[in-house]
Amino acid sequence: MNLPDEDSGRPLVAVRWGIPSGKRSQADEDAAEELAEELAPLLPPVANAEILGFDDGNDRIDILIRGEGTDEEIDQIYRAVAPLFRRYGCPSGYCLIRYYSGGAWGLASDEV
């Protein structure tokens, strides 16, 4: 997946695949891609939400869910993806991040 275009909305939720070693591997990339494919059908039909790419660094891969939504819709998306996320067996350092409007843009939840 590529990074989304500027016109594709704003970040609503990011699913962070943490890489504690700071050395991203092909296995990490493959696992994050697989998780993204499993998350996509779980997205509720709100906020024009779509998984639109990855944002990555040496210590993480963020699966980006973008769209245009209210805080309530962001919570709806969170509730839809959180059960799979919790069962998935992500490595240490993973979390879900909800990007609320009005300043609370980086609320991290389910950190391990």
How buried is residue 98: exposed, middle or buried, by Cβ count under 10 Å (0-12/13-18/19+)?
A: buried
Q: How far apart are CA 63 and CA 89, in angstroms?
A: 15
Q: Which residues of 35-47 are buried (b: 16+ CB within 10 A; e: fewer)?
A: bbeebeeebeebb
Residues of the chain with pLDDT > 70, as a percent, come to 84
Give the CA radius of gyration of the chain. 13
Q: What is the pLDDT of residue 1?
A: 42
Domains and CATH numbers, the chain: 8-109 (3.30.70)
**Of 76 and 91, more confident:** 76
Determine the average pLDDT of the residues in 8-35.
89
pLDDT digits (tens, 9 = 90+) for 42-51: 999 999 999 9
* Phi, psi values for residue 88, rounded to 5°: -75, -25
Per-residue pLDDT at 4 exceeds 80? no
